[in-house]
Chain A
Amino acid sequence: MKIISRNLLLFALLLFIYTVLFRFGLGSLLSAEKWAWVIVIAVVYGAMIFVTAWMTGKRDGINNFLFDAGFRWNLTTFIVWGAASEAWFLLGFQSAHETIRVVHITLLIWSGFLILHFILFLILRKRTIKGVHKTNIFE
């Protein structure tokens, strides 16, 4: 039972790659003023994160019985997305249409949801024994 499992690390790596590709695509499309494509690329990026999180989370659940109510995946997404986005700006890769303020506001709002998610996890953790959900102990 691992908090940082192989599936979580795989998710973090793929998310980092997606984010770099998304940032690159977003910057290019904004510079070219192709606004409609910005929505398309954002939806594709979000969908890819969702599918990857769902698949790696499901695989993780097979061998890792630690109950976390999905919090580890949410926190990982927050950290990787935040770090990659901050680095993108620090390295000066952003387009003229992007400001770091958007990243900061997103992280601020997201951190609120992250806290709510953590509280939910703490509430649901009462239904576990040594980190294993009671309904998942006996098969």
Chain B
Amino acid sequence: MKTDDALHQELLSAWEETYKKGQLTLWIFLSLKEGPKYVSGLQESIERFSKGTIHAEEQSLYRTLRKFYHLKMVDFSAGKGHKGPDRKYYHLTPLGASLLQSFVERNIQLFFEEPLQELLLN
């Protein structure tokens, strides 16, 4: 039989696994709101913002950005690479920015209001 600690850890991991699904878009948008980024830079800022709880594979980011570009939520411009060829620097389009704002207003801001804020912090 599992100890309470082990059960707690297992349940927490399972919850987080489910919770993280669907989170990548929010982290990408927040990172791009900070400023234009190339894929590796985006990967770094997602890890930094999420304090290492979200790790996005580079291939997964490329795929997602291509899709967002197709849907006109992000755009890119060519910028200098460190030593190699030019990189694509992605940024939010006005559509992407307004989408992020609407999403945050409807789904995130409520966590900063009473009574949720008190419940979350105590």
Contact = CB atoms under 8 A, between A and B. Distances in A.
The secondary-structure label for the interface of chain B is helix
B22 interface: yes
Interface string A120-139: 00000000011110001111
B40 interface: no
Interface residue range, chain B: 10 to 19
A136 to B, nearest CB: 8
Given A139-B22, A139-B24, A132 B71 contact: yes
A129 B60 CA distance: 20
Contact of A130 (B21, B25, B71): B71
10 contacts: A62-B63, A63-B63, A129-B71, A131-B70, A132-B67, A132-B71, A138-B24, A139-B21, A139-B24, A139-B25
A137 B63 contact: no
A139 B57 CA distance: 13
A81 B55 CA distance: 45
Interface string B62-84: 01101100110000000000000
Contacts of A131: 70
Given A62-B63, A139-B64, A132 B70 contact: yes
Interface string B8-52: 000000000000011011000000000000000000000000000
A65 interface: yes
A1 interface: yes
Interface of A: 1, 62-63, 65, 129-132, 136-139
B70 A1 contact: yes
A132 B63 CA distance: 13
A124 to B, nearest CB: 18
Contacts of B66: 1, 65
B71 A137 contact: yes
Contacts of A129: 71
Nearest to B67: A65
Contacts of B24: 138-139
A62 B66 CA distance: 12
Contacts of A1: 66, 70
Nearest to B26: A138
Contacts of B64: 139
